[in-house]
Structure 1
Amino acid sequence: MLLAASGAAGARDSPLASCKGWNATLNQRSGIDSRRATMTGTVTEANLAEYCRRDPGGETVQYGGDLTVKAYIAKYRQQVGHAFYRAVADCTKGSLSFFPPQGDPQTVLFPLAEDADTSCASGMPPLMAQFKLLCPKAAARYHIE
C-alpha cells in the first residue's frame, strides 16, 4: 500500500504490499514518470486507526474481539513503531520495486500478463497503485486501474 488519497483526515497514503494491512502516510514523492521515480512513507496513528476500522483480524470489540480502538492502535504502534516504506520505479522499463521495513523487497514488471493474479491475496493491488502514483503515464499505457 504506498500512496493514494486517504480517508484518514485527508492525508496522502502510500499503498503497501497487502490489502489486509495498513497504509503509510506519504512523506515524499519525486521523479514522477522518470527512470527513478521514488516515494517514501511512514505508518502513523491515523493509518493504524483506519486499519482498525477495517479490522481484518477481528480483534476489536465491534468485530467480536477484546480490544478497544485505543488498545488496538497502541498494540500495533508498539509493533510497527514508525516503520519506513519505500518504492522505486523505472517508468521507462515498467518496473517497480517495493522495500518494506522488514522482509524481502518485491519487484514487479508492467504490463502484467493477461492471466496475472491481481487479487487482494496476491498483494498486487497496492503495487499497482504505487506504480500508478509514480508512473501515471506508463500506468495509463498499460491500462492499470
Structure 2
Amino acid sequence: MTRATLRRAALALLATSSVAITPALAQEPQRVLALVTTAEPQVQGMAFVLLNAMRMQGATVEVMLCGRAADLARREPPGPAATPMRPMNATPAQMLAGMVRAGVRTEVCALYLPNADIGPEALIEGVRPAQPPEMARRLIDRATTVLPF
C-alpha cells in the first residue's frame, strides 16, 4: 500500500468516526416541563420523585404548579401539602423545596396568586409567577417533553 493510499484510508476512517461521534456529543440534555395540577399528595410526591430522578440522570427539569398544587410553593403550605409521606418521610412541599434549592426552575400559574388572594412574597424563595407568553413558548418548543401530573 502506498503512503497516499494509507493517508486516504486514515482520513476516510477519521471522517466516518467523527460523523458517528459528533451527533452524540452535540445533543443537548433532554428538557422536561412538568405541569403539576393535582391536589393528590401521592401523585405530587411521585411527580417530584420522578422529576428528581430525571434531573439526576442529566435532564433539564422545570415545574409549573397550578390550582391546589401551587399551595406546595407557599412558605406555609396548607392542609395535605404539609403531611409527610412514606418512605421518604417528607411532604410534597419539602420535596418541591429541595428541587427548587437544587436549581429547578419552578413557577406558579399566572392565575394562582390573584385567586388565592396572596402575593409573590407568600411563595418560597426561588419560585415565581409564570409569564403566560414565555410559558407558552416553552410548552410548544419541540425540544420540551411536557408531563402532566
Q: TM-score, normalised by structure 1?
A: 0.22
| Greater fraction of residues in helix | 2
Q: TM-score, normalised by structure 2?
A: 0.22
| Greater fraction of residues in strand | 1
Compare CA radii of gyration and give the structure with the larger one.
2
